[in-house]
Structure 1
Amino acid sequence: MEKRKEVLQRPVGSSPQAQYVRAVEEKVTSGSVMEGFTKNKTLNSLLNIELVKDKSAEEITQIWSKFFSARDAVYAVIPGDVYDLIQSRSERCPSFLYALPRAEGYEFFVGQWSGPELHFTALINIQTAGDSAPSQLILYHYSELRADKGIVLMMAECDSKHLGVQEAQCLANQVQLFYSGDQFNMVETFNHNPSDFKYMTVVSALQHLPTGTV
């Protein structure tokens, strides 16, 4: 764990992080970053499970998509077997470094799993504020319908002062790329052999994806 912390404290070279420092410091000192995040957000607070228990997975997917698309929000319906793999791997490798394309270069975020929640925090925040650095994005995964319908529902909340919906969606899309695909070896290296981890491999993986994938 200490070795991984050392990796997170390293400057990331050509990444244009300096341009984000001032904005991040303002967020940290203002203490307003976590405003708007909901504690203990349950599926029942979003969807009446009793009313959909007789509906098919396809119908529930349509309901979930219609609800969140009207709100310009980040959401997904994940096949149960895919989520099972992600969950299993997240237990062994609970954190990873993600790259968000910016106008010039990339901004890096650390994603940290906490049960079914995935918290994203800007790397520069961690380097300046340490363990007290707040999250800018949280993905909530709901597995209540996994057994009967074979799907897991996901929705997100983000700090709109730091991330737009498209930027949050970009980070969310990378979760399946790195946790359920062939790129998982990068996640393993980050967690278990951090001295061998090279952040530019993340950038390279994103650059080789088909246009529009992330």
Structure 2
Amino acid sequence: MVKEKSAEEIKQIWNQYFSAKDTVYAVIPAEKFDLLWKRAQKCPSFLYALPRKEGYEFFVGQWSGTELHFTSLINIQTQGETAPSHLVLYHYPELQKEKGIVLMTAEMDSKFLVVQEAQCLANQVQLFYATDRSETYELVETFNHRPSEFKYMSVIAELEQSGLGKGLRPSQDSDKS
């Protein structure tokens, strides 16, 4: 259906369609997805930090083909392999070669995450996997290949430096009554 359309037209259609829905979606440039995909093949999982009212909640992101499944660390620790995914990012690379774009959408468990939180996790995939900063991607490599050297506080530091988690926590003043 979109074969005759330009990348820009497809992007507009995708954004327009999903803007009315309560979900996460994106149009990823082919070069950025290439980098992300190459790295995901070498390092298929990572630990992501989601700002919460009291600190952070950790989610493990695990690639399965072009799907990226996020599960809270606490659920993995308590339920193991049977722990359900709270968020799945679906990447559609069918238009990558011809149009230079990869479409992405998500499925989320709204009992565990709101759209802004899911968006924060999705943005972190780009932050850690598609970065030009070698120190940032090195955290992913360490998590996958040298887990004993991995420091989860480095993820929080990187997240705070990037500013991606801003706006997810209620302001300190809102607690005072």
| Residues in 1 aligned to 2:32 and 2:74: alpha-carbon distance in whole angstroms | 31
CA displacement at 1:73 relative to structure 2: 1.4
Alignment of 1:135-150 (within 5 A): 135-150=85-100
Task: Extract unaligned runs of 5+ from structure 1.
Answer: 1-49
TM-score by length of 1: 0.74
| Residues in 1 aligned to 2:141 and 2:81: alpha-carbon distance in whole angstroms | 22
> Counterpart in 2 of 1:159?
109
Aligned residues: 164
Q: Deviations over 1:32-74 (max 9, x none)?
A: xxxxxxxxxxxxxxxxxx2x21111111101000100111210
1:105 pairs with one of 55, 73, 90: 55
> Counterpart in 2 of 1:199?
152
| Residues in 2 aligned to 1:210 and 1:157: alpha-carbon distance in whole angstroms | 24
RMSD, matched Cα: 1.4
Alignment of 1:7-86 (within 5 A): 50=1, 52-86=2-36
| Residues in 2 aligned to 1:132 and 1:72: alpha-carbon distance in whole angstroms | 27
CA displacement at 1:132 relative to structure 2: 1.1
> Counterpart in 2 of 1:6?
none
> Counterpart in 2 of 1:123?
73
> Counterpart in 2 of 1:10?
none
Task: Extract unaligned runs of 5+ from structure 2.
Answer: 169-177
One-letter code aligned to 1:190: F
SS at match of 1:203: helix
> Which structure shows the higher strand fraction?
2
CA displacement at 1:192 relative to structure 2: 0.3
SS at match of 1:71: coil
> Counterpart in 2 of 1:209?
162
One-letter code aligned to 2:87: L
> Runs of 4 or more off by more than 4 Å in structure 1?
211-214
One-letter code aligned to 1:175: V
| Residues in 1 aligned to 2:167 and 2:159: alpha-carbon distance in whole angstroms | 9
Q: Deviations over 1:119-141 (max 9, x none)?
A: 00000001111111110000000
One-letter code aligned to 1:200: M
Q: Deviations over 1:191-214 (max 9, x none)?
A: 000000000000000111246599
CA displacement at 1:104 relative to structure 2: 1.1
TM-score by length of 2: 0.89
